[in-house]
Structures are given as structure tokens and as C-alpha cells.
A and B are shown apart, each in its own frame.
Chain A
Amino acid sequence: MTDATAYTRPKYVGQPVQRLEDPRLLTGRGRYTADIQLPRTVHLAFLRSNQAYARINKIDMEDARAVPGVIGIYAAADFGHIPDIEAPSKMENYRATACPVLARDLVRYVGEPVVAIVATSRYLAEDAAALIDIDYKPLDAAITARDALAENAPKLHPELPSNIILERVFATGDAPADIANAPHRVSGRFNLTRKTSVSTEPRAYLADYDAGKDELTLYDATNIPGIVRDELARLLNLDGNQIRVIAPDVGGSFGGKGSLYPEEVIVADLARRLDRPVKYVADRLEEITASSQAFGEEVEATLAFNADGRFLALEAEIIGDIGAYSIYPWTAALEPVQVASFLPGPYKTPAYRGRARGICTPKPPTGPYRGVGRPMAVFAMERLVDLAAAELGLCPVEIRRRNLAGADDFPHRIGSGLIWNRSGFQECLTAAEEAIDLPALQAEKAAGDKWIGVGFASYAELTGIGSRIAVAPGMPMNTGAETASVRIDATGAITAKFGISSHGQSLETTLAQIVAEELGVKPEDVRVVHGDTAASPNGTGTYASRSAVLGGGAAIKTTRALLKKVRRAAACLFDVDPDQVETGDGRIFVRGTNHSIDFKELARVVYADTTALPMDRRETLEAQETYDPFLGTTSSSTHVAVVEIDPETLAIKLRDFVVAEDCGKLINPLVVDGQVHGGVAQGVGAALLEELKFDETGQPITATLADYLVPTSAEMPPMHIRHVETELPDNPGGFRGMGEGGTIGATAAIANAIADAVSHLGLEINSLPITPNKLHALIAAGATQ
């Protein structure tokens, strides 16, 4: 057949398309906030608290003001016109905290900004900071959450009734009674220490003020530009159309760049006051001590089960060490409440009671970090599952198989009220089991030369959450909708704009794949605009494993609306019915005819030609649609870790790692694999290396990357991924989120593997990270008992 109009319609969704953002990032042409240089820029440095909890008696700035190049030095009183940052929530039993942009009378953590210094260079600003003398009166403080919980503990926020700023209980059935009556039960007190995100790019902000228009542009290393814009408008008393927040290339976040920070507010305000661009780039010390931190929880839990190993009831007390302030916008409830709501996991456990409390301590605020709540929940639950298996002499795989929800159980409601839609819980377990040679490993372990351990962890997570559920409990903000606009301009070029904000997720490529497939063009023909509040009337950003589902859904809905306009215009031109018009390979055609034009020609006909179409048929080739999944969709996975411990040095080596996951339809398998690998690496860090330590006075003692260790290539095992696709979810593309799962499963799987490796010693692995030193201490303690 020689029909010239039978163009192919290649599928791009599901293909390992090479990333469109790569060439610039590989050749040093990326543009991160710190790279942007504007004329007349002045530089900001902060003098930060060196006390955990103290009263500020006096600040002496006299010598600092004399440093050449100093433009201004500011303390709390200079920002009296800006309201304190407070994170509201409709949650009962929650109290917001008031966080001034600079510490006013009290400092509440080491690293809290106290003085802002502006100079013509960062070097000079730091010179001046070194000459400022702050006289503190240290105050009594409870440093740990346990101490801060005590009735007579000194209060960190004197205006609040206590250090407990939130409490929430989830209950189904009568778990305490069921546990009391159960034939078997296992318990533990589990602790996931504080972590920090360690994006390789530190936070950075550059505000550019146009006095003529009274407009402010904030270049911002953030993953929530829309949320920052909206709140800055309120705090600075400006209209939204006077502030544009642009997240240019952003060097990772993992949650650490996903909250509103005082530094952002100060940079924006000072640019207006000084009528000059103001730039602030955090150094690593500031990044570790003054960016949001993660986890810091203790879970005391009991799981009851019958003689067959079937779970009967689960009960848990969760204490979250939330730090000094309840972070905007997520609130301090984000992390500990999510531990409680996800603790029952993918299992069928009839009765549940979980109580989460958040406790203020004089440490940096906790905020979102990859996995949010789930790494702690899954660590505690999966340890209990393995303890239960051990009690009954069951294989860890078998006890999971007996309790995971199966194909007939969906939709499956768990004891906290969360509802799982169909996801491959059992299928992932089976795929993970098949990916390793368990008998061979058990034989090697039995030989006894090395301490070999195999650990399983199964989890479920809710991704692509719609407007029915707030990402953080009670947060008065809709994080469940996403708006896209796609347009064909007068030159025939295609631009797709989103409110999401890619910071490593490859969304410039994956969303282009979706738009290209729907419209009938190539991915490289679609320019994706994101991370810019000018691109969308409303948009919050990229977090909570939402962008593939919400951004992808919005892309599909919007492109389909645009395609209708394309077909109407072409149908009019070709004098055929719109249903006969097809697109593919960048062409618009009618099969079996010689009607065929490209998008350039269509744009010319619609926008430039005054005769080809009647006036009332020249529709602008642009569509804008919002997608809201209302609920969300369940991603699930089973992870398997294989560890080998050297009996002499106690060095822990991760030998192998398997992830079997169900994330629905893959948009780009290379990208999904990359997300899983990176997530697992952060799980490895959480389980084996990463710990923010504070001394008894609240001083951070792990404030460099030589003290706070993250995994390097040498610590990472080879990783094997099995993609399991069960019934696709009913969102437009059949996508599920996969940005966080790696961290959620890996932490628990490694803990279980280590527990297995040292099972002959009877050690309890209930605090992470577990290091050779801690293993040694456990063994020594066991020997002295």
C-alpha cells in the first residue's frame, strides 16, 4: 500500500526514552539557583543560634556594621511587619507553633537564624557575622522527646500548655482486648533516629525585585514553588500576581526543600526593601543544621496472632520528636500521624489501635523526607512480622503470604481507615521470592563461616492522592488536584505547562512522552514547563509520589481536549468529519486521502491565514484541564536484602538487593528503575549509616558529611528490580507513584536481614541505623548479662 497518509502512531508511554533534560545537565549548562548571577546582587549570610534553648539578652552589631561592603544587618525587630510562620490544621488535638523569621526573644534550636547580614559579597557578609556578639541566657530544656513528654518538663513554647502539640488515635475493633486474649503475641520498641535529606545542592534563594512594576521574582531551590508563592503573598501582603516563584534546575530535595523556610521570606522581603537582587546559598553546615529533618520516632508495638500465624490485632504507641516548630505547610503531624495510619500495612489485621503524639524538642523542625512515616511504620511492622514467624517457626515468606491482602480482598480497608485498591501485594512477594535463591543462601548461612542474613519487607503506600485526603492531616490546602495547559503556538511548537516541579524525577521527559503520545508528535517536540508559578494559576509542586499520577493524568486530560480542537480545525480545512482526522508522527491526516498537513501548517492556517478557515472556526489551539483523582492509588512492593556480616570486624556488607514492585503502568522504565534505586540507597542510609546525633545539651554533633554518612557507590549492593503489573488503577494513564517506595521498603528489609544474620546471638535489632559499633555494643551487653 502506498497510501502516503497512513502515518504510524508510535507508543512512547512505556518506552525507555532518553531524557530530554540530560544534555544541559551533562554539559554544565543546567541552571541551578546558585548559578544565576544578576547585576547589583547583594549577598546574605545568617548568624545562627549556637544554643539549643536560650533567651537572647543582647545582640551587639557595632563592629560588624563597620565591615566594608556591609549593606545592612537585621534582627527580629526589623521584620516586625511579617507575621510569624504558622502551620494551621483542622486536626483535633493539634497546636500550631509561632515561628518568627528571625528568632525574637528565644532561640529554640542550634542553627535557628538570629541575625541576617547583607553585604556586597558572601565573604564580607560572613566576615561581619563573625564580629556580631549575641549574649544568650541558656534555659533548661528537655532535649529528648521522652524527657519533653514528662509532666514537669520545661516548655519549649511557654504560651502552649505542654510540649505535646499533637495527638491522634486510630482504632478499629478492640485491639487491647484481642491482644490480651490472643494465643500468641510479639512486641518491641523500635526507634528510627533522626535523618536529614542531604540533597547534593544546598538550599538557595535569589530574589529579583522590579521596583518599576512592584514585582518580585524569587528563584528558589524548592519543590513546592506554588505553596511558597501563595504563602509569601500572604506574609508579605502582596498579590499573587506580584510574586513569581521559579524553581529552576533543582539539585534534589527528597523533602528537604519541600517546606517554607524563614530564609525564603527574608530574601524576598529584603530584595524589595533594598531594591536590589538578594542572594542566599546555604552551606552544608546550614543545610544539616537548619533544613528540615526526618523521622526521629519511637514505636512501641504489639502484634497478636493465632497458631496459624494469622494476625489478629495490632497496637502501637508512637512518639515523634518533631523538633522546635510545626513546619509549614505540612505541620508536625505529617510524620508521626503517618506512622500510625500506615502501620497495619498491606496485611489483614482485624483490630488495630494506634496513637501518635508529636513532642516539641529544641532541635530543628522535622518535615517531609522520602517515605514520610512509612519507613518507621514498615520497619516496626516488618520486624514484628519476622518475630511472629520466628515464634511459630514459620518461614518469613510464608507468614507474609498468609496475611497479605490477596486479589479477592480489594478494596481492602486497614485498621486506620486507609483503603487499598487492587495492587499486587501477593504477586510482589512471589516475584521477590523467585528472584533470590533462598535455599542456597540458607545453606550458606547454615555452613556458619559467615553470618549471612536474608530480610524481607512488604509494604503498601498511597500515591497520587486526590482531594478527598489531605497529604498531611487536616492541612487546609488541596494537594489533590493538578492543572495542565498544553498549547500549539503560531509557529506550530508545542508547550505543556504544569504546576508540578521536577527536581530529578525526569518529568520533562515523562510528561513529554505522555503529551506526545496523546497528540501524535514526538517527545522531543514537546517542551515541558514546570516549577514556575507563572505557568499555572494554581499548583503546589512535586512531592508525595504525586506527579506521575496527577501530572500524568492532567497531561492526558488536557492533551485530549487540545486534540479535539486540532481535529475540529483540520476537519474544517479538509472538509471532513472531525472523527476522520487522525494524528501521528507530527502529521494531521485523513486516512485513505491525500489530506495531510503538519502542526506547523495547522498553526499557520489557524493563526495567520485569514481565508483558510471561517473566522468563527479559528479556535486558539490551547487547552487547560485539571485532574483530581479524588482518592489515590496503592503502590506496593516486597524488598529482599541479603547481608553478610564479618564475625571478626562486624563489618556489614549488603550483598544483594531485590525489589519487586507494582507501580501500575510504567511511563519510562529507565526512570522508574532510577527512582527505585535512589530510594533504596536512602533506605540503606537509614538502616546502616545515617544518624543525626545531638549531645545532652542539644548540640548537633554530626554536622558535616564526614560525620553524617550517606551511602557511596562502595556501600551499595547491586540491585535487581522486578516490575509486577496487576490490574491497572482506574486513573487516566493507569499510573501509580513510585518516588518513595525504595526508601520505605529497604529500611525494614535490611533490618530484618541483619536480625536474621545475628539470630544465633539472640540480638534485638530495634534501633536504626545499626552499625558495626552498635552491633558490638549489643553483643557485649548480651555477653555481660
Chain B
Amino acid sequence: MTGKTHIYLTVNGETFDACVEPRMLAADFLRDELGLTGTHVGCEHGVCGTCTITLNGVSARSCLMLAVQLDGMDVQTVEGLGTMRKMHRIQEAFREHHALQCGFCTPGFLMTVHDILNTMPLRDDDEIRDALSGNICRCTGYEHIVKAVRTLVNERDGVQTP
């Protein structure tokens, strides 16, 4: 491929400028160039949601984007959510409810949940299930994920649970 393109972006609060091939996938850029391997690639055709990141706060599939489209963006990946020592509340809720098994789809779910908690009412479990239906988990059957999200929604809305 001829020529590289210069991009300038923020990832998890850190600024980067990089030269990338125009055809490089955003997911490959984050993983292979920046070493942020927490974003996983599951299908490369936009179905499984495993590679979900947020761009300017909105969830997006990094396997359906090119790295050049990240130019000027504020990108957040799972690494920016919380750390081993101080996990984000979403991560804690997933742990408390055993909402992950192999963990491969988990970063994508966490980024999706981060988005939907900000943007959607999620009034009942059916709405939670609909909101999560763009992410595939093959291990959990979703039951514990729905529980974790329900807990987070209740905390968000100040709903007391028994």
C-alpha cells in the first residue's frame, strides 16, 4: 500500500500521533500499534460486538472502522475504564454477578454498558436485553450479565433493591 496518513487522537486520556496505512483497521491499530490488546476482535464483520470501543463517548465497532477515522477523536477502550487495583463500578458489578466466564467478549460488553447506562432508560429486563443484543457472549447465556446491568441501572436511578 502506498503512503501513510498522519492521525492525531486521544486514547484513554493520552494523546497520540501516528502514521498509519489507510487500510489499517482501527482495532488492529489499537491492538498492534498502541499495544492496547484489551480490545478484542471476534468477527471482523460487525456482528459480535467484541471490539466495541467508545468514540467521543458513543459506542462503536472498531472492526468496522479504519484507523484514519479515529483522527481527532476521543477514544476510550476497556483499559481506560478502571484498573486492576481500582476497577470501574461496571467492572465490579460484572465480577459480583459472575457476568463473565472466558472474558473474551467482556471488554466489548463493558464499553456497551458504559454507553447504554448514559443514554438509555433501561426500564425493565426486556429493555436491558434489547440494549445488549448487539454483543454476543457464548459463555454466560446472558443471565448474569442482565443481572449485573440491572444492578447498575438501579444504582443509577437510586432504586432501592431488597
Does A24 belong to the interface (CB within 8 Å)? yes
Question: How many Å from the CB of A590 to the closest CB on chain B?
Answer: 38
- CA of A66 to CA of B35, assembled, Å: 30
Does A28 belong to the interface (CB within 8 Å)? yes
> Given contacts A23-B84, A27-B91, A671-B98, are A201 and B104 in contact (CB under 8 A)?
yes
Does B156 belong to the interface (CB within 8 Å)? no
Among listed B3-11, B45-53, B65-73, interface-contacting one: B45-53
Q: A interface, how many residues as a size bin?
A: 35 or more
12 contacts between A and B (CB under 8 A): A22-B103, A27-B91, A123-B21, A200-B136, A249-B102, A250-B102, A252-B138, A673-B143, A674-B144, A677-B143, A678-B141, A713-B130
Question: How many Å from the CB of A695 to the closest CB on chain B?
Answer: 21
> Given contacts A671-B98, A674-B98, A705-B45, are A26 and B138 in contact (CB under 8 A)?
no
Inter-subunit contact A25/B106 (CB<8 Å): yes
> Given contacts A250-B102, A251-B102, are A22 and B140 in contact (CB under 8 A)?
no
Inter-subunit contact A713/B105 (CB<8 Å): no
Q: Which chain A positions have C-beta within 8 A of B43?
A: 284, 704-705
Question: How many Å from the CB of A382 to the closest CB on chain B?
Answer: 21
Does A19 belong to the interface (CB within 8 Å)? yes
Inter-subunit contact B140/A674 (CB<8 Å): yes
Does A409 belong to the interface (CB within 8 Å)? no
A657-691 residues at the B interface, CB under 8 angstroms: 670-671, 673-674, 676-682
Residues on A facing B (Cβ under 8 Å): 16, 18-19, 21-32, 34-35, 37, 123, 197-202, 249-252, 254, 283-284, 503-506, 670-671, 673-674, 676-682, 704-706, 710-714, 716, 718-719, 742
B18-49 residues at the A interface, CB under 8 angstroms: 21, 23-24, 31-32, 35-45, 47-48
Q: Which chain A positions have C-beta within 8 A of B132?
A: 712-714
Q: Which chain A positions have C-beta within 8 A of B120?
A: none
Cross-chain contact of A28 among B38, B42, B48 (Cβ < 8 A): B38
Cross-chain contact of B103 among A16, A21, A713 (Cβ < 8 A): A21
Inter-subunit contact B130/A714 (CB<8 Å): yes
Interface of A is mostly: loop
Inter-subunit contact A680/B141 (CB<8 Å): yes
- CA of A31 to CA of B37, assembled, Å: 8
Inter-subunit contact A18/B40 (CB<8 Å): no
> Given contacts A27-B87, A27-B91, are A200 and B137 in contact (CB under 8 A)?
yes
Closest to A251 in B: B104
Question: How many Å from the CB of B127 to the closest CB on chain A?
Answer: 10
- CA of A21 to CA of B84, assembled, Å: 11
Question: How many Å from the CB of B77 to the closest CB on chain A?
Answer: 7
Report how many residues on chain B are interfacial, defined by Cβ distance under 8 Å: 61
- CA of A23 to CA of B100, assembled, Å: 11
- CA of A506 to CA of B103, assembled, Å: 10
Inter-subunit contact B47/A678 (CB<8 Å): no
Inter-subunit contact B87/A26 (CB<8 Å): yes
Q: Which chain B positions have C-beta within 8 A of A680?
A: 141
Closest to B25 in A: A123
Q: Which chain A positions have C-beta within 8 A of B125?
A: 718
Question: How many Å from the CB of B13 to the closest CB on chain A?
Answer: 15
Given contacts A201-B102, A677-B140, A713-B135, could you give 6 more A-B pairs where the C-beta distance is less than 8 Å? Answer: A27-B83, A28-B39, A200-B105, A251-B102, A670-B144, A706-B45
Q: Which chain B positions have C-beta within 8 A of A30?
A: 38, 103-104
Closest to A670 in B: B98
Q: Which chain A positions have C-beta within 8 A of B95?
A: 18-19, 22-23, 26
Does B101 belong to the interface (CB within 8 Å)? yes
Most chain B Cβ neighbours within 10 Å, of A16, A30, A710: A30
- CA of A676 to CA of B37, assembled, Å: 30
Does B78 belong to the interface (CB within 8 Å)? yes
Does B81 belong to the interface (CB within 8 Å)? yes
Inter-subunit contact B107/A710 (CB<8 Å): no
Question: How many Å from the CB of B93 to the closest CB on chain A?
Answer: 10
> Given contacts A34-B41, A671-B98, A674-B98, are A704 and B138 in contact (CB under 8 A)?
no
B137-153 residues at the A interface, CB under 8 angstroms: 137-146
Inter-subunit contact A718/B143 (CB<8 Å): yes
B106-162 residues at the A interface, CB under 8 angstroms: 106-107, 110, 125, 128-130, 132-146
Q: Which chain B positions have C-beta within 8 A of A742?
A: 141
